[in-house]
Structure 1
Amino acid sequence: MASTADPGSFRDPLSRVFVTPAGIRRGLSTEALNDYRALATTSFFAQAMMRGDIVGTRLLDADDETAAIPGDWAAVLAHDPVDVISYPYEWPFEMLRDAARLQLRLTRDALAERMITKDASSYNVQFVGTRPVFIDVGSFERSRPGEPWAGYRQFCELFLNPLLVQALRDVPFQPLLRGSVHGISPATTAGLLPGTGLSTKGVFTHVKLHARAERRYSDADQRDVKAELKRAGFGPALIDAQLRNLLKAIDGLTWKRPRSTWSDYSERSHYADADLQAKEAAVAAAVRARPDSLVLDLGANDGHFSRLALRAGARSVVAVDSDHLVVDRLYRDLRGSGEQCILPLVLDLSDPSPGLGWRSRERRSFVERVRPDVVLCLAVVHHLALTNTVPLEEIVALLADFGADIVVEFPHPDDEKSALLLRRKRQGIFERYNVANWEQALAERFTIREQTTLPGGTRTLYRCAVRPVG
């Protein structure tokens, strides 16, 4: 494998991330190297890496063979890899809030040792299970006397504003962040919160006044705003006060939706004990056949089968569901128990995350980023086929896109849940929804290793190996 530049790191002119056969590398310019050397002498940096708050990082020797990357760089860093890359528009509310807290805490710690973060993108944070990890070491630079925190606007657009619109308006931030990799502007946020939440900490200062200031300084290209702020005495004390104010605003936000479509629902609730046991046995057998595997659990709901996969020997699990509240609750539960091997994400399988940003490559699609060894697709097919009207062949194609072994459940047309969905449809529209057509579609892309009809007789489980394309 040749070394390739990460498509999401090109916006920093002083450093660039590369994926190499030896691992993750970051090229540093001379200025970036000087910043890193200053960072490496601080106490907070080493302590943050020990806690796992900052990705493991080391400076490579010039004669280290693994330091060879494209370009003319003054030095090269090696970073510990993150198993699965996720993006803010796939996180539930509480995940984004925890990522925001980490950004602010690290920036305050840096400021106390004459460093600062030059930006504040939520894409600079990744999650290892439920633990947020700051990955953009190139973001730290030496602070400059009299200059404001350059990351303030970006923090508002990619952390605070998304949390505000969901907390105060119950508007999911995920579609808004997916609509623009730059986040939600102060003006847009102010428009979503007209006359609302002015008593909520941070709204007036960070939204209303921020939007007004943007209009006032719209001619910033003709004005030296930094010089104006320096003359006004902007320094570390004011920046720290700003960071503390933002942290209070973040801590004061909660999302109080009590229920959602799937929050009080479990597909297990109508299973007979024998059916559930057979389903659990099939999942455990599939995972045990691929020890130390990465498992993708589609339609994870409360994470029952994700936890089962871990007990069966999976290295880690990506648990996805389309219901924001369900995933938020799962994240809180996992965080509370200290579980760091399950990554819960918000994902609508009928509209999975596409490639976004510059040339539609800056933020890769979900299928490109998540490359599991085993895929669990349980109690999902009938919803995709009958609610979202996705043809059976297309459902199979999506599963094959992951290039992994699968355990997939097909509810027959006479299954209680399938029958309920079919009764809502016009008669004759879904005649192709049957076992024979499903198995024909499945056999086109997979080799069926094992199939088991559950004791109840209305659902069949298939354990399959993906066929190589071509």
Structure 2
Amino acid sequence: MNEPRALKTEPGTIADSLAGVDHTLRRIEREAGSYRDRNGTIFYRDGRVFRYLSRRALANWQALDKAPFFQELRDQGRVVETHTVDARAEGLDLGDWAGIVEHARIPFVSYPYEWSFGMLKDAALLHLELMRSALSADMILKDSSAYNIQWSGARPVFIDIPSFEPLGAGEPWVGYRQFCELLLYPLMLQAYKGVDFRPWLRGRVDGIPAEEMRALMSSRDLLRPGVLLHVAAQAALQKRYSGGRRNVRGALAEAGFGKALIERNVEKLARLVSKLEPANTRTTWADYDRTHSYEEAELNRKIDFVRRAAATRRWRLAWDLGCNTGTFSHVVAEHTDYVVAMDGDWMAIEHLYRREKDRGSAGNILPLVVNLADASPSQGWRCAERKAITERGKPELTLCLALVHHIVISANIPLADFISWLAGLGTSLVIEFVGREDEMVQTLLANRDDQYDDYHPGVFRELLSVHFDIQAEEPLKGGKRHIYFATAKLDTISQGS
């Protein structure tokens, strides 16, 4: 079941505004993306995440809740914490539903087309791990969508609890095709062809079809691990049964597609996925820690400024825009419940993810591949199945360090428009302006017409002052750069809410 926002929480929701009202009168908010599985649907109330269950789904959940393998996975944080809810005690109307469960909250929802290669790979491996565990208890995951996995920092967490179902005798793994299209094929695309999988996943909610993946594979690629079986054979099988009355699932069931076959397939897929690595690709900022233009003393001054700004209060959610490999994300994380670190360079995010993963704990930094000038839009059914980045929880603090010149000069976005967008978030801000004398700006301007009359420190400060109250500022690199800490003006916050 696809549920991209299954565990959304954010300040400023309807539930927040109704605090103190009797709970029987509080309004519930249905999850627009939770509709594909008719056996359960997500809704929110008071910042809490609930799920209605059908009679069948409730029976499956009650069996699952008692299963030792599931209890172990839940204790390890591999599946989302979930428990049964007394609808009457909560003042919730069951209607035609049989029961309700409550899920723990995920701090910030993300999508596979915002993940690095390593994140998608670990999501695939988690899914296969859950399949192995479920099969050992004669259960199975009926769905294999990448959207059923979210993140607690750098730790993948499975959220679609109703996907666990009893395994019927002779039943095939019906989620295999979905696993290939949304997890395996995107990984193969980047590992075998050096092609970024993110635009492909963003372009189609259901992933890469087998026939399209086959068309992308050359004859030589058929010799690569997994391509002949999971791509070519899959495409041929789907072509054979497309348009006919007899479906693949039925044919496999009739052939006696037993548990042992599924287990072997899962094991082979796990070995295949674990060996996949992105093709050799080096991007501009992958070595940021070694190639930034700051001397050590100046870098330490910048870090100290960011730390002092972050320490002015405790923040619930912070964004680090243009985070590179996360140097300043870690600084802000000391004073923030959760940090979403975004950069358009997937390799920089891959470095950050691997470092966070190596720390051995979930942490509170979520790395995402996001090009701010072309960020993920609202899309899917009724443009509500997948939410734009600003609709998934707005930040209380935002870092924009060494970013403005890329937005204005590289992306041709007017400075006033960018500052206005930041103000609309209602966020406090640590922002750096890189002057025209700086070598980084001179490099950007070297081979283009200088049409950026708005790109001057005076204009920048004036625009910033319109929307924000400047609390502190400091020159860097001998005045070539300036860094500011600013808080949103009250009228700006009220306009953006």
Give the shorter-chain TM-score range.
over 0.9
Instruction: Give the AA of the match of 1:23.
Output: R
Matched, 1:27 2:52: yes
In structure 2, the partner of 1:167 is 191
Offset of 1:143 from its aligned partner? 1.5
Give how far 1:302 is off. 1.6
Task: Tell me whether 1:135 sits opposite 2:173 in the alignment.
Answer: no
TM-score normalized with structure 1 length? 0.95
Q: Which amino acid aligns with 1:31?
A: R
- Residue among 330, 351, 375 paired with 1:307: 330
1:121/1:155 contact within 8 Å kept = yes
What is the match of residue 482 of structure 2?
460
Q: Which amino acid aligns with 2:74?
A: M
* Shift in Å, 1:102: 0.6
Alpha-carbon contact 1:290-1:373 (below 8 Å) kept: no
Matching residue within 374, 385, 409 for 1:362: 385
CA distance in 2 between counterparts of 1:397 and 1:51 reads: 43
The amino acid that maps onto 2:287 is D
Q: Alpha-carbon deviations, 1:55-105, whole Å to 9, x = none? A: 000011243216x26753211001000001111000000100000011111
Distance 1:463 1:268 in 2: 25
Partner of 1:444: 466
Deviations 1:372-392, CA, capped at 9 Å, x for gaps: 221001000001111111100
CA shift for structure 1 position 455:
5.4
Alignment of 1:27-426 (within 5 A): 27-65=52-90, 68=92, 71-220=95-244, 222-266=245-289, 269-311=292-334, 313-339=335-361, 340-426=363-449
Moved more, 379-388 or 250-259: 250-259
SS of 1:198 mapped into structure 2: helix
- CA–CA separation in structure 1 for the residues paired with 2:50 and 2:357: 30
SS at match of 1:63: helix
Q: Is the 8 A contact 1:268 1:276 kept in 2?
A: no
Structure 1 SS opposite 2:253: helix
- Offset of residue 469 of structure 1: 4.1
2:319–2:339 contact (8 Å) kept in structure 1: yes
C-alpha separation between the residues in 2 aligned to 1:408 and 1:451? 9
Q: How big is the shift at 1:237?
A: 1.1
Q: Residue 190 of structure 2 contacts residue 279 of structure 2 at CA under 8 Å; is this kept in 1?
A: no
Distance in structure 2 (CA, Å) of the matches to 1:70 and 1:34: 16
Distance 2:424 2:209 in 1: 35
What is the distance in 2 between the residues matched to 1:318 and 1:270?
A: 24
Mapped partners of 1:316, 1:268: distance in 2:
27
- In structure 2, do the counterparts of structure 1 residues 215 and 455 end up closer, same or farther at CA, with 3 Å as the change threshold? closer
Shift of 1:275: 2.9
How many Å separate the matches in 1 of 2:216 and 2:248? 28
Question: More displaced, 35-44 or 46-55?
Answer: 35-44
AA matched with 2:43: F
Of all paired residues, the percent bearing the same amino acid is 39
Secondary structure in 2 matching 1:462: strand
SS at match of 1:315: strand
Q: Which moved more, 1:363-372 or 1:438-447?
A: 438-447
Distance 1:307 1:146 in 2: 50
Q: What amino acid does structure 1 have at the position aligned with 2:425?
A: F
* Structure 1 residue matching 2:215: 3-state secondary structure: helix
Distance 1:144-1:116 versus aligned 2 partners, 3 A rule: same
CA contact (8 A) 2:154 2:353 kept: yes
CA distance in 2, matches of 1:333, 1:191: 36
The answer on whether the counterparts of 2:192 and 2:279 sit within 8 Å (CA) in structure 1 is no
Are 2:424 and 2:493, in contact at CA under 8 Å, matched by a contact in 1? no
Match status 1:3 vs 2:34? no
One-letter amino acid of the structure 2 residue matched with residue 431 of structure 1: D
| Residues 78 and 258 (structure 1), Cα distance of their counterparts in 2 relative to 1, 3 Å cut | same
Q: Aligned to 1:293, what secondary structure does the other structure show?
A: strand
Unmatched tracts of structure 2, length 5 or more: 1-14, 16-26
How many residues end up aligned between the 2 structures?
A: 466
Superposition deviation, residue 128 in structure 1? 0.7
Counterpart contact for 2:469–2:487, Cα < 8 Å: yes
Which moves more between the two structures, 448-457 or 267-276? 267-276
The SS at the match of 1:276 is helix
Q: Secondary structure at the match of 1:146?
A: coil
Which whole-Å CA distance do the structure 1 matches of 2:119 and 2:67 have between them?
28
Deviation at 1:292, TM superposition (A): 4.6
Whole-Å separation in 2 of the counterparts to 1:286 and 1:137: 40
User: Which SS does the other structure have where 2:200 is aligned?
Assistant: helix
User: Could you say what secondary structure the match of 1:238 adopts?
Assistant: helix
More displaced 10-residue stretch of structure 1: 176-185 or 241-250: 241-250
Select between 366-375 and 178-187 the one with higher mean Cα deviation: 366-375
In structure 1, what is the Cα distance between the partners aligned to 2:370 and 2:93? 34
| Contact 1:287-1:293 at 8 Å conserved across structures | no
Compared CA separation, residues 458 and 70, structure 1 to 2 (3 A): farther
Cα drift, residue 258 of structure 1 = 4.8
Q: Does structure 2 conserve the Cα–Cα contact (< 8 Å) formed by 1:274 and 1:455?
A: no
C-alpha distance 5-70 of structure 1, shift in aligned 2 (>3 A): farther
Conserved 8 A contact 1:201-1:252:
no
Change in 2 beyond 3 A, CA 1:69/1:154: farther
The answer to whether the 8 Å contact 1:3/1:70 transfers is: no
Quote the Cα distance in structure 2 between the aligned partners of 1:65 and 1:293.
Answer: 27
